[in-house]
Amino acid sequence: MLSPARRFRNTIYAQFARVPKALASAPRLEILQVLSQAPRTVEALARLVEMSLANTSQHLQVLRNAGLVEAEKQGLFVTYRVVDPAVTGLLLLMRNVAEARLGDVAKVTREFLSESGQDEPVDEVELLRKIKEGAVTLIDVRPPEEFAAGHLPGSISVPLPELAARLASLPRRRMIVAVCRGRYCVLGIEAVRLLRAAGLKAVRLPKAISELAAEGLAMAQGGVAP
Residues constituting the chain: 226
Query: Closest by alpha carbon to 211, among 93, 84, 48, 123?
Result: 93
Cβ atoms of 202 and 178 within 8 Å: the answer is: yes
Instruction: Please check the confidence at residue 14 and state whether its pLDDT lies above 80.
Output: yes
* Same domain as 217, residue 127: yes
pLDDT at 223: 59
Cβ atoms of 153 and 138 within 8 Å: the answer is: no
In this structure, what is the dihedral angle of CA atoms 56, 62, 66, 67, given to the nearest 10 degrees?
40
Averaged pLDDT, 93-121: 90
Based on the structure, what is the number of domains in the chain? 2
Instruction: Please check the confidence at residue 119 and state whether its pLDDT lies above 90.
Output: no
Catalytic residue flag (residue 185): no
DSSP H helices in 50-123: 53-65, 85-101, 103-115
* Same domain as 147, residue 216: yes
36 inside domain: yes
Domain stops at, among 67, 86, 105: 86
pLDDT at 174: 92
Q: What is the CATH number of the domain that holds 140?
A: 3.40.250.10
pLDDT, tens digit, for every residue of 38-53?
A: 999 999 999 999 999 9
28 inside domain: yes
Instruction: Please check the confidence at residue 224 and state whether its pLDDT lies above 70.
Output: no
Q: Tell me the DSSP string of 152-188.
A: -TT-EE--HHHHHHHGGGS-SSS-EEEE-SSTT-HHH
Specify the 3-state DSSP secondary structure of 78.
strand
* Same domain as 136, residue 72: no
AA identity, residue 39: P
* Same domain as 26, residue 75: yes
AA identity, residue 11: T
Specify the 3-state DSSP secondary structure of 198.
coil
Distance between CA atoms of residues 64 and 62, nearest Å: 5
* Same domain as 146, residue 52: no
Question: What residues contact 144, with CB distance under 8 A and at least 6 apart?
Answer: 157, 159, 224
Domain stops at, among 63, 86, 109: 86
174 inside domain: yes
Q: What is the CATH number of the domain that holds 60?
A: 1.10.10.10
Specify the 3-state DSSP secondary structure of 38.
coil
Q: Which pLDDT band, with edges at 50, 70 and 90, does 116 fall under? A: confident
pLDDT at 208: 87
* Same domain as 139, residue 77: no
Instruction: Please check the confidence at residue 11 and state whether its pLDDT lies above 80.
Output: yes
Catalytic residue among 35, 178, 180, 200: 180
Dihedral sign for Cα 121, 127, 128, 129, please.
positive
pLDDT at 113: 86
Q: Name the residue range of residue 183's domain.
A: 120-226
Distance between CA atoms of residues 167 and 196, nearest Å: 10
Distance between CA atoms of residues 17 and 19, nearest Å: 5
